[in-house]
């Protein structure tokens, strides 16, 4: 990789990770904090608050991607970061569940995920794109993991309002990173007739879109109930980091070999299938086991699968999508991703309220099995041509 490609990958991964950190940071603590808000004793509304940003992102990912295809990636990223910061500050002021939902919705309206991934693809050659996408995907996983480690301690120190306020300030700082550190992209290819249809209806892209939807349904639904389950098992919220930190560090070490295998051998399918099987196993186990040690083991397996899938899926989308509609294709991918976040929060809250926490994990296991069946028909990708 050239110095420019490394700089593009590292800086865009940082911007992406910062934004995702802001979205993930409340997951470990919001269900515990919610009863302090007016209306926060309703688990369905708590689930909506957790996943609300997913709905607004789902509505706006494709328009943001299309806008970046037409007017350029960086201006659209600037606008999205400003909107995200505004949502963070609104959520920081929340005293009832509805203002929290509004703030999370506005956070999600800064729907720049597809634009950042498209810019990363613009700035890298195809034979190195998996590495750069893996950097971004790994940063998503790292942000998710860091939120689980840091959020309980930060919540104990600065409260929920402080969490949202810090995230808003960091989002504004990310504008400077995009302006000063991220390289300028090359001119965009002109759109061709039928490009939009191919970006939406390509069979392999449909498989990947379905997969990211299920992955984030499972992620969000399980964290509607898992923090409370851990408290009931005897692990105080302030001590959750003692479980998350070692699990997270080990999971990042374990994700490297499968990523390298898929990249160097151009064989993503067996790694993809293996990680989905792990996801099914984790959700099935969580529906049956209890106790802090059991939760730690299940989370380790979940993080390994989650991190690998977050690294692989956007790379595969960028390789399959036509270059002139890449922003649109990644916008569709991110729309299904964020719909998963919204419906995961909604589903987790509804199932937990009406049936119980174990049934949340069981439903996620069934959905993961459906993804496994869809992924089994994935076709092999053509070999990447080395451009020197």
Give the C-alpha separation, 341 to 339, whole Å: 5
Tell me the pLDDT band of 363, cut-offs 50, 70 and 90. Answer: very high
Q: What is the CATH number of the domain that holds 356?
A: 1.20.1250.20
Average the pLDDT over 5-9 and give the result: 81
Instruction: Return the pLDDT at 364.
Output: 93
Q: What is the pLDDT of residues 329-338, one digit of tens each?
A: 777 887 788 7
% of residues, the chain, pLDDT over 70: 90
Q: What is the pTM of this model?
A: 0.71
Instruction: Return the pLDDT at 385.
Output: 42
Tell whether 234 is covered by a domain: yes
Tell me the pLDDT band of 12, cut-offs 50, 70 and 90. Answer: confident
Tell whether 283 is covered by a domain: yes
Tell whether 43 is covered by a domain: yes
Tell whether 191 is covered by a domain: no
Tell whether 194 is covered by a domain: no
pLDDT greater at residue 195 or residue 171: 171
pLDDT greater at residue 142 or residue 372: 372
- Cβ count within 10 A of residue 323: 15
Average the pLDDT over 234-247 and give the result: 80
Does residue 208 contact residue 313 with C-beta atoms inside 8 Å?
A: yes
Own/partner contacts of 96-103, CB < 8 Å, gap of 24 or more, are 96/37, 96/38, 96/39, 96/40, 97/34, 97/37, 97/38, 97/39, 97/40, 97/42, 97/45, 97/46, 97/49, 98/39, 98/45, 100/37, 100/40, 100/49, 101/45, 101/48, 101/49, 101/52, 103/164
Tell whether 385 is covered by a domain: no
Q: What's the distance, CA 249 to chain centroid?
A: 18
Residue 224 has pLDDT above 80, yes or no: yes
Q: What is the pLDDT of residues 61-106, one digit of tens each?
A: 778 877 887 788 889 999 999 999 999 999 888 888 899 899 988 9
357 lies in which domain range?
3-183+201-375
pLDDT greater at residue 296 or residue 194: 296
Does residue 51 contact residue 345 with C-beta atoms inside 8 Å?
A: yes
Average the pLDDT over 152-159 and give the result: 83
Tell me the pLDDT band of 217, cut-offs 50, 70 and 90. Answer: very high
Average pLDDT, the chain: 81
Residue 380 has pLDDT above 70, yes or no: no
Tell whether 387 is covered by a domain: no
**In this structure, what token pair is assigned to residue 341?**
């976040």
Q: How many structural domains compose the chain?
A: 1
Instruction: Return the pLDDT at 129.
Output: 65
- Cβ count within 10 A of residue 353: 15
Tell whether 328 is covered by a domain: yes
């Amino acid at each position: 990789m050239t110095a420019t490609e490394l700089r593009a990958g590292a800086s865009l991964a940082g911007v992406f990770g910062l934004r995702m950190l802001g979205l993930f940071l409340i997951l470990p603590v919001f269900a515990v904090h919610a009863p302090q808000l007016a209306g926060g004793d309703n688990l369905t509304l708590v689930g909506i608050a957790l996943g609300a940003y997913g709905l607004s992102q789902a509505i706006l990912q494709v328009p943001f991607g299309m806008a970046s295809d037409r007017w350029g990636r960086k201006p659209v990223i600037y606008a999205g970061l400003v909107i995200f910061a505004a949502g963070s500050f609104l959520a920081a002021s929340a005293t009832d569940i509805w203002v929290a939902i509004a703030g999370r919705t506005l956070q999600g309206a800064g729907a720049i995920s597809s634009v950042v991934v498209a810019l990363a693809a613009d700035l890298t050659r195809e034979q190195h794109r998996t590495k750069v996408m893996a950097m971004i995907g790994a940063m998503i996983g790292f942000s998710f993991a860091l939120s689980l480690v840091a959020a309980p301690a930060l919540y104990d120190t600065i409260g929920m309002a402080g969490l949202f306020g810090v995230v808003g300030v960091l989002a504004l700082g990310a504008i400077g990173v995009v302006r000063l550190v991220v390289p300028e992209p090359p001119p965009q290819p002109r759109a061709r007739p039928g490009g939009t249809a191919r970006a939406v209806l390509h069979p392999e892209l449909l498989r990947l879109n379905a997969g990211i939807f299920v992955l984030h349904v499972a992620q969000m639904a399980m964290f509607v109930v898992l923090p409370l389950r851990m408290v009931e098992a005897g692990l105080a919220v302030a001590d959750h980091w003692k479980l998350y930190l070692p699990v997270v560090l080990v999971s990042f070490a374990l994700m490297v070999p499968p990523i390298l295998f898929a990249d160097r051998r151009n064989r993503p399918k067996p790694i993809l299938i293996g990680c989905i099987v792990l996801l099914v196993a984790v959700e099935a186990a969580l529906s049956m086991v209890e106790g802090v040690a059991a939760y730690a083991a299940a989370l380790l397996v979940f993080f390994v699968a989650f991190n690998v899938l977050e690294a692989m899926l956007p790379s595969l989308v960028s390789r399959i999508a036509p270059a002139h509609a890449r922003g649109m294709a990644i916008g569709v991918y991110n729309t299904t991703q964020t719909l998963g976040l919204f419906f995961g929060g909604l589903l987790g809250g509804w199932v937990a309220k009406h049936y119980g926490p174990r049934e949340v994990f069981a439903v996620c296991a069934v959905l993961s099995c459906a993804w496994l069946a869809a992924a089994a028909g994935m076709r092999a990708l053509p070999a990447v041509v080395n451009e020197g």
